[in-house]
Structure 1
Amino acid sequence: MKKILLVALVFSSQIWAQNNVDACKILSKINALIQKEHVQPKPVDDSLSVYIFDNLINDLDPGRNVFFTSEYDTLSNKYRLQLDNLIQNQDCEFITTIDVIYQKAILRNKSILEKLDKENLDYSLQDTVRVYKKAFPVYITPSNLEKTWRKKLRFDILTEIAGSSKNLDSIQANFESLINYYKGITIQNEICKINTELKRKNYITEKIFALFCTYFDPHTNYFSANSKSNFVSSLSKERLSLGFMVNLNEKNQIIIEEIDPNGPAFKNGKLKKGDQILSISNTKETLRVTCASMEQISELISSDANKIITLMIKRKGEKNFSVTLEKEVIKDEDNTVYSYVVEGKNKIGYIKIPSFYSNFENKNSSGCAEDVGSEIIKLQNDNINGLVIDLMDNGGGSMEEAIKLAGLFVHHGPISIVVDKTKRQQIIQDSYRGYLYKGPVIILVNNGTASASEFFATILQDYNRAMVIGSSTLGKATMQTILPLENDEDNFVKVTINKFYRITGKSHQSIGVIPDVKIPILYESIMQNESDYPTAFKNDVLTTSINFTPYIKHKLIHHLAKISHRRVQDNSYFNNIVALNKRIDAVVKNPKNTIPLEIKSIFEEQKEMTSITDDITNFKDETLNLKVKNATFNESLLKVYPSQRAIKEEQIKTLKNNHYLNEAIQIINDYFELK
């Protein structure tokens, strides 16, 4: 038996050693590629080492209940300032060391949880929970680990109980039975999370690959062959899909929200809207929803490598059952351009561009610019007087598509300046003379408007070809490409190769595109911006003297903006958003430092959050009733493809009460009156 154990240990150490050698080779190739191609490469030094180490620890131990202080100190003293040297010296044994200590730590936590599962927790203790805004020091010691877990479990259980009812008296009357019920669920979910974590292969290695890349900037990243395939697929309007959409409910359960009538889930016939997904399986592993992260669940369910997926489903009033689905290539309606006509004082066209998708792999499929061109032609056949382009929550995509799209609205001339690592300035020209549409244009943007969509918006804004309204955009003015590592077909880097600037020489990097008319957007002050990333490029300005002629005088844009600003200030819908944002800010940005660890205080804390959530959920104004309809040609298409009608009707229903669209229409009406 001892001989077998010895052989197993030797074999295991050989695998670890080989994995470390392979990891170092990949890191070396990643560095070589970034140093060669990145627009602004940095030296591999102590700063990189600190960045990787601190972020890795924060990822592995975000709640500071995994590592002992002594373990952290050992790792910190040994590696925090040395990872750069070790990587350059091809010595990646640190990966094994960190992994071994991490697994030992979470197994230690598992043992404590199993022990506490058999014991009673004392809820009469006078105690508080401290709320931290940022990562805090590692403080766990062998003597206080169990005490920390007892405190954490009490807080988690009380939080679950507080959310089980809106009536505190009812909770207090049934407190003992609720404790027993939620204690079992909470502890088993924690154990399940640890078991899931123990099964993750190469997680720390790939996390280090990713951190090495994001040290150079937030958008340079490591891709395995599978993640690269998923990323490219996300930039397409056709993708492998199970044919349904999910959402998280208030209990963090995954619920089926929509089923695509053209997809495999609909054809299977077993799933219904409102079904709860309990677990997700491919041919190799099963993830229980309650004990896996959303990142793991998303990766398993969306990966192109997992073509056959089995779901365990819970439906009210029925026994749990499983459904096996095989993915099919279907049109992704949520990633496809669509348009409508809004009738009123003037007939206005509306085009939604969810992303700047392209035909990267399917040469028979049209890209975003071509699809927008088709929709413009349909709208012009209905004699529209103006056009609203909705780029809200458009995270970007293909820069080539953005350049083509700008050409549909600009006659000819320079549209942008691109700078590479040599600091060489290349002026991007609209290569096609003429334009497809020359009427007034309004562009809707928000914090989710990023990259290629910001690029497009700045071109039309600089030419006074469109007015931009909404909130400031993300602030990403860089361009990436996906490159394979040398002699390696399984590992890739999405590397930032260019920075782009407006034709004025200015940049929206880290500050976003500033709208001509700022309009309140829900959650805008707590959404993450480019400037929030620690490795984001700073804003800078180029010295340039490019000649270009704006289409209309800035004085007219300024006058229209003043009229719109006054209207927005008097609008009760937008004023309600401002009020909601203030309430959200008060809770998110200024949380209480400590919360008493007892049911009444936690209930009151949750009640405040629930009140805001309920007000946001119930916040809608259906008094607009805009006259939105399909373009004549699109209406005729629905007779050929009737399965699309339900989707179109839902989109029209949403647009009828869209206050941002309404304000855009009002600005176009003002334009014609002023003109």
Structure 2
Amino acid sequence: MKKLSLVLFLTTFSLLGQNSAKTCELLSKINVLIQREHYQPKSVDDSLSVYVFDTFIDGLDAGRNLFTKTEYQNLRKHRLLLDNYILDENCSFIDEFVSTYKLALERKKKTLEKIQTEVLDYNSKDTVKFSKKSFPFDLGIKDFERVWRKRVRYDILEDVSKMSANLDSLTPHFSKLEKISKAKTFETYLCKLNGILNAPKGIDYDLKNDFLNIFCAYFDPHTNYFSLEAKSSFMSSLSTSGLSLGINVSLNEKEEIVVSEIVPGGPAEKSKKLEKDDVILKVSNTKGEEYSVSCASLDKIGELIFSDTNKEIELTIQKKNGTILPVLLKKQVMKATNNAVFSFIAEKDSKIGYINIPNFYSDFDGFSPQGCADDVAKEITKLKKDKIEGLVIDLQNNGGGSMEEAVKLVGMFVDFGPVSVLVNNKKKHTILKDFNRGSVYFGPIVILINGNSASASEFFAAAMQDYNRAIIVGSKTLGKATMQSILPLDGKQQDFVKLTLEKFYRVTGDSHQVKGVLPDIALPVLYDSIVQRENSFKTALEYDRITTKAKFNAFSKEYYPTLIEKSNLRSRNNARFNEILSVNVKINALYNDPKKPLPLTFKKVFADVHEIDLLWKQVKKITKTETNCTITNNSYDAEKVAFDPFQQEINAFKIKELKTNPYIEEAVAILNDFNNLKK
């Protein structure tokens, strides 16, 4: 028995050694590529070492309830040495992280399995503490049972509390409900632990990928390491079409992944086995990778489902009647409806065209002849036939995408001239120009933005603002003014880096890096101050300006002061915008103010869980309130939708969403003001 254990022990470390050697090889290749091509490469020194170590440790034990103080101190000896290891191509230190992490996970599993058999005391005087900052690593071996008993009790009390907003309806049934929540809590915890410990490619593989990503992120937040599967998934997300199962999914109120839409003509619809609201319990591919939805991360599940390297996916689903069955689906090339541009007519005193651009998708894989710019042109053609008097382009929550599509889109509204200035790591300036004479639309434009408008959408909004071609309305954008490209590490095409190669500047020489694109007319936006923008990343590139030779002819701004004044007056007197301002004060306090220690009793946890009920009711009321703006299809789409029941359902949903959007109503009012001033 001892001999067998020794063989297994040596085999394990032999495999770890092989993996650490491969990691070192990849790190070396990544570093060479970054130092040669990155817009602003940094030295591999102590600063990198500290950033990578701290970020890596935070990812492994964010709650400070996994490692002991001794284990952390033992790993901490590497904190200032990672740069030396990397330069010396000695990555054996990763083996120590892997073995320590695995040992800590096994200990956590044993601790939870022991607590699972116990009768938990909900009448103790224990409290739980909350902190916006990280707790120190100060636990000893004997502390874990105490810490995890408290954590488990809190999770169970929280789960029971969420079952109803009425304490009196829960209290008489607490014992029964506690058993249900306890079973669910331990099942989730242990399932997640087993998922990590028995990961298809091993813990060391996942930690290696995390480490490589953190190393890349030191140079800037948008430089990332990609395996072939991750690269395929990322590219698919930016494409207008690709291999698809023909379903869209969402989270329900129980945070289960459910089928929200079945696309006509797709694999799911053809199977005749899937229905809307089916719960997805498990996903697997033909390579032996399998994830239980209740305990795997959404990133893992998403990568498995959406990566084009997985041609077939088996979904284990639960029907409404409780029946559980497997469904094997073979992907097929389909138009990605969630990426597609769409348009409507928004009316309030005049007829205004509305175009929504979800992201700047492009057909990277050659399945389709066009990207979002061509799709926008088609929507404008439809809207012009309905004699619109202005155009609203909605970039709210548009996370960006293809820069080429953004350049093409600017060119559709600007006759001719420079669009932006790209600067590489050699400080070479390249002026991006619109070489196509003419425009597809000559009327007034309002562009809607918010804190989630990023990258290519900022690029487009900034160029339109510099030319005074559109009035920018909403809140400050994310603040990303860098351009990335996915480059292979070698000829094998198995490992890639999404690398920041250039920084782009406005034709004025200014930049919106970190600063964001500032709206001409600012409007209150829910959650605006807690949106994670570029300036929240430690390694974000800094804001600066350049002197540029770009020459351009901007449109007149003579009406802007009056338009801004009229809009600001409406905004100040708008009950909904004032309610957003009021609610944001409460949301900011909820997220930013320190939280007091909470006694671990049912009444106290229930009160804490439901303390924000009134606030969320206010938020829901704000988001569901309809405007006085009428939303209808353009005449072309109205005729097309009339004969398609499935599209009618999607269409009705979109109209309902747009009817509750106060920014569209204000954009229409601004365009009405503009047209009245011009008369």
TM-score with structure 2 setting the length: 0.95
Matched, 1:169 2:173: no
Counterparts of 1:264-303 in structure 2 under 5 Å?
Answer: 264-283=267-286, 284-303=288-307
Cα shift at 1:259: 2.4
1:621 Cα deviation after fit: 5.1
Contact kept in structure 2, 1:464 and 1:557, CA below 8 Å: no
- Structure 2 equivalent of residue 336 of structure 1: 340
Give yes or no for contact 1:418–1:427 (8 Å, CA) kept in 2. yes
1:611 is matched with which residue? Answer: 614
Structure 2 SS opposite 1:409: coil
Contact 1:573/1:621 (<8 A) preserved: no
- Residue 62 of structure 2 corresponds to 62
CA RMSD of aligned residues (A): 1.8
Paired residues of 1:625 and 1:657 also in contact (CA < 8 A): no
- 2:139 corresponding residue in structure 1: 140
Q: Which residue of 2 aligns with 1:597?
A: 600
Give the secondary-structure state (helix, strand or coil) at the position aligned to 1:19.
helix
Q: Which amino acid aligns with 1:589?
A: N
Check conservation: 1:504, 1:544, Cα contact below 8 A. Answer: yes
Supply the distance in 2 between the matched residues of 1:139 and 1:275 (Cα, whole angstroms).
Answer: 45
Shift of 1:272: 2.5
| Mean CA deviation greater in 68-77 or 314-323 | 314-323
Amino acid at match of 1:414: P
**Alpha-carbon deviations, 1:508-560, whole Å to 9, x = none?**
1112111011111221111100000000011111133543222122x411221
What is the identity percentage for the equivalent residue pairs of Structure 1 and Structure 2?
46
Deviations 1:351-378 (A, max 9, x none): 1111111121116421111111121122
C-alpha distance 610-287 of structure 1, shift in aligned 2 (>3 A): farther
Deviation at 1:478, TM superposition (A): 0.4
State the partner residue of 1:425.
429
In 2, distance between residues paired with 1:166 and 1:628?
36
Measured in 2, the distance between the counterparts of 1:51 and 1:620 equals 40
The match for 2:636 is 633
Query: Which AA in structure 2 matches 1:241?
Result: S
Q: Which residue of 1 aligns with 2:514?
A: 510
Question: Deviation digits for residues 209-239 of structure 1, max 9, x if unmatched?
Answer: 1011000000011011111111111111113
Distance in 2 separating the partners of 1:135 and 1:641: 54
Residue 643 of structure 1, CA deviation: 4.3
Provide the residue aligned with 1:650 in structure 2. 653
Query: Retained in 2: the 8 A contact 1:262–1:643?
Result: no
Change in 2 beyond 3 A, CA 1:143/1:364: closer
Alpha-carbon displacement from aligned partner over 1:232-257 (angstroms, at most 9, x marks no partner): 11111113222222222333222332
Partners of 1:318 and 1:493 in 2: how far apart?
A: 44
- How many Å separate the matches in 2 of 1:43 and 1:482? 22
Question: Equivalent residue for 2:470?
Answer: 466
Work out whether 1:183 is the aligned partner of 2:182: yes
- Give yes or no for contact 1:131–1:592 (8 Å, CA) kept in 2: yes
1:49 aligns with 2:46: no
| Pairing of 1:462-541 with structure 2 (within 5 A) | 462-541=466-545
* Counterpart-to-counterpart distance in 2, 1:38 and 1:619: 44
Contact 1:257–1:273 at 8 Å: present in 2 too? yes
Paired residue type of 2:27: L
Q: What is the identity, as a one-letter code, of the residue corresponding to 2:113?
A: E
SS at match of 2:64: coil
What amino acid is the match of 2:110?
S
Residues 173-212 of structure 1 correspond to what in structure 2 (within 5 A)?
173-200=172-199, 201=202, 202-212=205-215
Q: Hey, what's the Cα distance between the residues in 1 that align with 2:556 and 2:306?
A: 46
SS of 2:612's partner is: helix
Give the C-alpha shift of residue 344 in structure 1: 4.3
Between 354-363 and 174-183, report the one with greater CA deviation: 174-183
Q: TM-score, normalised by structure 1?
A: 0.96
In the TM superposition, residue 431 of structure 1 has moved relative to its aligned partner by 1.2
For 2:384, the equivalent position in structure 1 comes to: 380
- Higher mean C-alpha displacement, 222-231 vs 120-129: 120-129
Size of the aligned set, in residue pairs, is 673
8 Å Cα contact 1:46/1:82 also seen in 2: yes
Q: Which has the higher mean CA deviation after the structures are superposed, 11-20 or 607-616? A: 607-616
Partner secondary structure for residue 291 of structure 1: coil
Give the whole-Å Cα distance in 2 for the aligned partners of 1:271 and 1:305: 23
Q: How does 1:235-246 map to 2 (within 5 A)?
A: 235-246=238-249
Whether the aligned pair in 1 keeps the contact of 2:344 and 2:632 (CA below 8 Å) is: yes
Among 217, 229, 250, the residue aligned to 1:214 = 217
C-alpha distance 267-622 of structure 1, shift in aligned 2 (>3 A): farther
CA shift for structure 1 position 264: 2.2
Alpha-carbon contact 1:35-1:41 (below 8 Å) kept: yes
Unaligned runs of 5+ in 1: none
Please say which of residues 434-443 and 580-589 is displaced more in the overlay.
Answer: 580-589
Q: Which residue of 1 aligns with 2:394?
A: 390
1:17 and 2:17 are equivalent in the alignment: yes
Q: Aligned partners of 2:297, 2:128: CA distance in 1, in Å? A: 24
Amino acid at match of 2:374: E
Q: Deviations over 1:559-611 (max 9, x none)?
A: 21111111112111222222222222221211413111111111111112333
Structure 2 vs 1, CA of residues 156 and 643 (structure 1 numbering), >3 Å: closer, same or farther? Answer: closer
Q: Report matched runs for 1:218-229 at 5 Å.
A: 218-229=221-232
Give the Cα separation in 2 of the matches to 1:642 and 1:148. Answer: 55
Relative to structure 2, which stretch is displaced further, 135-144 or 339-348? Answer: 339-348
Are 1:105 and 2:104 matched, yes or no?
yes
Please tell me whether the aligned partners of residues 39 and 421 of structure 1 are also in contact (alpha carbons under 8 angstroms). Answer: yes
Does the 8 Å CA contact 1:476/1:530 hold for their aligned counterparts? yes
Partner SS, residue 276 of structure 2: coil
Moved more, 155-164 or 623-632: 623-632
Q: Which moved more, 1:486-495 or 1:626-635?
A: 626-635
